[in-house]
Structure 1
Amino acid sequence: MTPLLTTKGLSRSFGGLRAVDKVDFTLMPGEIRAVIGPNGAGKTTFVSLISGRIQPSSGAIVFDGADITGLPTYARVRRGIAYTFQITSVFANLSVYDNVALPVQLTLSDRRSKAELRAGVISALERTGLADRTHMPAGQLSYGHQRLLEVAMGLALKPRLLILDEPTQGLADSEIDNFIELVRDIAKSATVLLIEHNMPVVMQLADRITVFNAGRILAEGTPEAIRENAAVQDAYLGTAP
């Protein structure tokens, strides 16, 4: 099977800090991959490079066989890469419906079709459990529900790769179980790359786990292999809450 995403020697420096350091990474279609590691390990910088929010200092990014290293974010979105931010970035003054309608419009062949637009919005909101909050201003949602709204906005793009950065942050325990089922449902039609500190969520969801430390990949493997890896325990799991 051909990888959906690969990075080759991917690096990003900020002044004298090498936030991502010569990372070779491969992601297969349909996979749920978790990226974990201590704060400052380079996880968010890495996925920001993939999404195009920042440009690499060196290295290459290949998506579906095409080199996308120099492409801007909007071009990557059109190719099927969607990214939800670590810090919520919803449009607080717009309704929940209108927040999702914006990305849905990018997927429509006829942007004047109100029926298609509504169907796309309602589908994304139903999948994320927000259909009963359609007309509420996004800024009035709880923080956890704003996180889910961001996921809905990502789903509205019909992505081939959905990148989720700390998606369970702010979710109540009762909402996390629903989120796990949501990601499993998403993975039926898209590949999921997940940055997450909640280790029970990671262990339940991930097919494979990539562990970052000091800008480099420390280890990769199944949840079972990562749990038993002594180097990972020393660098991260042993000090995780």
Structure 2
Amino acid sequence: MASVILSARGLTRHFGGLRAVDGVDFDLQTGDIHALIGPNGAGKTTFVGLLSGRIPAQSGTIALAGEDITRLPAHARVKKGIAYTFQITSVYPRLSVFDNVALAVQQTATRDLASDVAAALSRVNLADRATQTAGTLSYGHQRLLELGMGLALRPRVLILDEPTQGLASGEIANFKQLVRSLAPETTVLLIEHNMDVVMDLATRITVLAAGRHLATGTPSEIRANPAVQDAYLGGHDASA
């Protein structure tokens, strides 16, 4: 049986009267590609913000490989092995592609920065663009650069927030191939509105609705779940 690399119990975050995340339990198994889905306003982005430390939890606990990280800030969680790529590209547009990845690599205990940057760029097929200014990349290539920055951290858990947003169909196909290549060495938590991508990539899926856990299961189990069909798969907006 696979071990649990990241878990949450009773995780809660309210914003005034809005219960963005309301007592959620969650387990991420080592080596999985686990998708997090739900209708508009389900609390997906808030939830991964809590897991990554970008948003403090009001109650509940978070553990990474059994270690309580509930009170650790985001930068400390990065060093523990959690990398989070954002829904909107977060590259440094005036720096080169190489320097963007180098900034990420410097957060790890690297012995050979140039080699580690080259390896990350090669992984996302951007090695031939190392000297290009990041802001001149296409949107799709900027998303790949952001993914390369995440991989350069050598994370145990990589959280991808709407990674295919704005990508062309050919770029999505390449992205799926890349994500598959990460497992099982890297565990992936994927927030994604494109259900074709979710059903094709994910080994397990968790559904949130109104800030609460609705269901977790394999893609076939989630497809067949009446509560999920009613809350989400019946045609509701899938954006975070």
Structure 1 and Structure 2 fold alike (TM over 0.5):
yes
Residue 159 (str. 1) matches residue 160 (str. 2): no
Q: Is structure 2 residue 178 aligned with structure 1 residue 182?
A: yes
Matched to 1:224, the amino acid is: S
- Checking the alignment, whether the CA contact within 8 Å between 1:145 and 1:171 is kept in structure 2 is no
Matched, 1:3 2:4: yes
Structure 1 residue aligned with 2:59: 58
Match of 2:76 in 1: 75
Q: What is the CA distance between 1:109 and its match in structure 2?
A: 4.3
- Equivalent in the alignment of 1:237: 233
Q: What is the match of residue 113 of structure 1?
A: none
| Contact 2:40 2:236 survives alignment (8 Å) | no
Q: What is residue 39 of structure 1 aligned with on the other side?
A: 40
Inter-partner Cα distance in structure 2 for 1:86 and 1:39: 15
Structure 2: which amino acid aligns with 1:61? I
- Percentage of matched positions with identical amino acids: 65
Letter in 1 for 2:37: I
1:198-209 map, 5 Å:
198-209=194-205
Cα distance in 2, alignment partners of residues 108 and 63 from structure 1: 20
Distance 2:29 2:171 in 1: 28
- Does the 8 Å CA contact 2:7/2:26 hold for their aligned counterparts? yes
- SS of the aligned residue for 1:98 comes to helix
Letter in 1 for 2:160: L
1:192-217 Cα shifts (integer Å, max 9, x gaps): 00000111111111011001110011
Q: Tell me how far apart the structure 1 counterparts of residues 110 and 225 of structure 2 sit (CA, whole Å).
A: 49
**Contact residue 88 and residue 146 of structure 1 kept, 8 A:** yes
The 1-side partners of 2:122 and 2:166 are apart by 20
Instruction: Report the Cα distance in structure 1 between the residues aligned to 2:79 and 2:146, rounded to whole angstroms.
Output: 18
- Secondary structure at the aligned position of 2:228 is classed as helix
Report the TM-score, using the length of structure 1 for normalisation.
0.95
Deviation at 1:240, TM superposition (A): 4.8
Question: Which AA in structure 2 matches 1:82?
Answer: A
What one-letter code is carried by the residue in structure 2 that aligns with 1:80? G
Q: What's the Cα RMSD here?
A: 1.2
CA distance in 1, matches of 2:124, 2:3: 30
Deviations 1:133-186 (A, max 9, x none): 111111111122111111000000000000000001111101111111110111
Whole-Å Cα distance in 1 between the matches of residues 23 and 57 of structure 2?
A: 10
Conserved 8 A contact 2:50-2:56: yes
Corresponding position of 1:26: 27
- Aligned mates of 1:170, 1:96 — CA distance in 2: 20
Which of 134-143 and 40-49 deviates more? Answer: 134-143
Q: How many residues align?
A: 236
Deviations along 1:220-241, whole A, 9 cap, x unmatched? 1110111111211111111157
Amino acid at match of 1:107: T
Provide TM-score, normalisation by structure 2. 0.95
Q: 1:147 aligns with which of 130, 137, 143?
A: 143
